[in-house]
């Protein structure tokens, strides 16, 4: 099949390369020329394990193309995927201006029947909106259909998630249209669910909101564990063995960040309000999440006292491991508070430092965790990169001025770390 993908962010790029790898002819379009030029030179705009190799392979095989020419790409495509950004407005509402721009671009180029697929995370009713924009602006009198096919990939494991998703959701106006999408996904061999367009749009938000709820829930339990002297890791394990609950997304810590959960939950609160429903549960999920960083900083201040002049070493800057994405990263919040209180911050992240430098210029960036530890009064773990679990802790201890660890992601064993001679504090564990 000939496919056009509009937008080369996480979702667009991964969608494009996966469909190319499955044997389709794919053109990924973006209006940012520098991005397209770089992609044509094999330079990826994001760090994502396995992405570069897969892109290169499909470019060499002439199945994957990068272009700024939306017109040409739409004209030859049977299916057009809209994968543009949907950032939040100040009031939590989703800004659909990029989606609208893409729909207008399609309208000016559509020259025969095509299926237009919304893959971006968009509020319920956006399928109707896209249809109206194309109807109003189309220059040829041709028919088309609009489908909702939300993406569930996670940053850091995007390729694996897209190749082997738990489910594929196709919200289509008719069975015939759904079948066309089924054909496209058939080789992946994963469960597929066909729904109406509205339901598919809501499935995406409901899924993200449910996962965020698990995180805020376990974080609230972690606070109780701290007060009661219990261990949240054991509590989560014990709870998660119930197959109705499951172990996933019960890691207590600094709360959820990134480009999806915070904005999607706000968007769902806003959508609910539009329909006259006060989604109190979601508001509480956001409130609990907001308290995580101040709570953690309180623990640090309580244990090491006056921060002025103290050297704090930070391990991990990206919003989660295996990505260089700094959007809504807890590191930014925490470091800014510590800097304001007069601390000196040294930091290391395996891949996010270039992006972090633009947001956190006052930090001293280090080549590795050992350099971070040199002369530090405390180490603060913000992102649970695997390599931090494998450090030579004896060496770290000897390099530090005062061996104290504040583990915001519970990556170290408390007893063992204390036995090594560290003062050790984590989340919801004695
Ligand atoms: C999330 C969803 O997991 C994807 O299914 C979805 O497609 C994506 O949003 C999206 O809407 O595009 P992502 O934001 O990449 O993916 O990352 P997650 O792995 O879900 O983590 C989100 C945040 O929750 C991170 O800050 C992470 O540190 C935090 N988290 C996750 C916890 O604090 N505890 C956990 O147990 C799990």
Pocket test for ligand 1, best of 14, 159, 215 (most atoms within 8 A of CB): 215
For the chain, residues with pLDDT lower than 50 are: none
Q: Give the model's pLDDT for residue 65.
A: 98
CA-closest candidate to residue 256, choices 319, 205, 206: 319
Active-site residue numbers?
Answer: 260
Placement of tokens 């040199």 in the chain: 374
Q: Give the model's pLDDT for residue 168.
A: 97
Closest residue by CA, ligand 1 atom 24: 256
Torsion of CA 412, 413, 418, 421, to 10 degrees: -50
Contacts of 210 (CB under 8 A, 6+ apart): none
2-195 and 196-430 agree in CATH topology: yes
Q: Give the model's pLDDT for residue 316.
A: 98
The rounded Å distance from CA 256 to ligand 1 centre is: 7
Q: Give the model's pLDDT for residue 51.
A: 96
Closest residue by CA, ligand 1 atom 35: 249
Closest residue by CA, ligand 1 atom 5: 152
Closest residue by CA, ligand 1 atom 13: 154
Longest Cα–Cα distance of the chain, Å, equals 75
Q: What is the DSSP string of 227-256?
A: HHT--HHHHHHHHHTSTTT-STT---SS--
Q: Give the model's pLDDT for residue 49.
A: 92
Closest residue by CA, ligand 1 atom 18: 154
What CATH number should be reported for the domain whose range is 196-430? 3.40.50.720
The rounded Å distance from CA 335 to ligand 1 centre is: 21
User: Residue length, the chain?
Assistant: 430
DSSP state of 94: B
The rounded Å distance from CA 154 to ligand 1 centre is: 6
Residue 3 pairs with which residues in a beta bridge?
26, 79
Pocket test for ligand 1, best of 258, 331, 383 (most atoms within 8 A of CB): 258
CA-closest candidate to residue 260, choices 164, 126, 120: 120
Q: What is the DSSP string of 365-417?
A: E-SSHHHHHTT-SEEEE-S--HHHHT--HHHHHHHSSS-EEEETT--S-HHHH
Domain spans in the chain, listed from the N-terminal domain onward: 2-195, 196-430
Domain 2-195, CATH among 3.10.129.10, 3.40.50.970, 3.40.50.2300, 3.40.50.720: 3.40.50.720
Please check whether residue 181 is in contact with residue 170, taking contact to mean a CB–CB distance below 8 angstroms.
yes
d(CA 87, CA 285): 20
Q: Give the model's pLDDT for residue 392.
A: 98
Residues having CB closer than 6 A to ligand 1 are 121, 151-155, 208, 211, 215, 249-251, 253, 255-258, 260-261, 264, 319-320
d(CA 7, CA 36): 10
Q: Give the model's pLDDT for residue 14.
A: 97
pTM, two decimals, is: 0.96
d(CA 113, CA 92): 35
């Amino acid at each position: 099949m000939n496919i056009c993908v509009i937008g080369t962010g996480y979702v667009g790029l991964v969608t494009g390369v996966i469909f190319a790898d499955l044997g389709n002819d794919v053109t990924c379009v973006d209006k940012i020329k520098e991005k397209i030029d770089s992609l044509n030179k094999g330079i990826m705009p994001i760090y994502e394990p396995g992405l570069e190799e897969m892109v290169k392979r499909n470019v060499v095989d002439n199945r994957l193309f990068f272009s700024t020419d939306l017109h040409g790409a739409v004209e030859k495509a049977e299916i057009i995927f809209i994968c543009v950004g949907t950032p939040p407005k100040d009031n939590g509402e989703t800004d659909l201006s990029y989606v609208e721009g893409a729909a207008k671009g399609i309208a000016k180029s559509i020259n025969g029947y095509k299926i237009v697929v919304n893959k971006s995370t968009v509020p319920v009713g956006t399928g109707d909106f896209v249809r109206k924009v194309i109807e109003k602006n189309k220059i040829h009198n041709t028919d088309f259909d609009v489908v909702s096919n939300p993406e569930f990939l996670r940053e850091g494991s995007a390729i694996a998630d897209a190749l082997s998703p738990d489910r594929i959701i196709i919200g289509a106006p008719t069975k015939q249209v759904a079948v066309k999408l089924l054909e496209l996904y058939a080789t992946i061999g994963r469960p597929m669910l066909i729904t109406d367009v509205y339901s598919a749009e809501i499935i995406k938000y409901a899924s993200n909101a449910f996962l965020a709820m698990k995180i805020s829930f376990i974080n609230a339990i972690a606070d109780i564990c701290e007060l009661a002297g219990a261990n949240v890791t054991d509590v989560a394990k014990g709870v998660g063995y119930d197959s109705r609950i499951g172990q996933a997304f019960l890691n207590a810590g600094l709360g959820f960040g990134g480009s999806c959960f915070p904005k999607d939950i706000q968007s769902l609160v806003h959508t609910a309000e539009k329909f006259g429903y006060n989604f109190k549960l979601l508001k509480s999920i956001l409130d609990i999440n907001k308290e995580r960083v101040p709570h953690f900083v309180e623990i640090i201040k309580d244990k090491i006292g006056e921060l002025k002049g103290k050297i704090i070493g930070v391990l991990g800057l990206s919003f989660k491991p295996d990505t260089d994405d700094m959007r809504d990263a807890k590191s930014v919040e925490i470091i800014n508070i510590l800097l304001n209180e007069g601390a000196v911050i040294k930091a290391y992240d395996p891949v996010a430092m270039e992006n972090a430098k633009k947001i956190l210029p006052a930090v001293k960036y280090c080549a590795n965790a050992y350099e971070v530890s040199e002369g530090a009064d405390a180490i603060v773990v913000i992102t649970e990169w695997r390599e931090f679990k494998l450090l030579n802790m004896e060496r770290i201890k000897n390099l530090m001025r005062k061996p104290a660890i504040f583990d915001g992601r519970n990556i170290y064993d408390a007893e063992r770390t204390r036995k090594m001679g560290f003062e050790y504090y984590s989340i919801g564990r004695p």
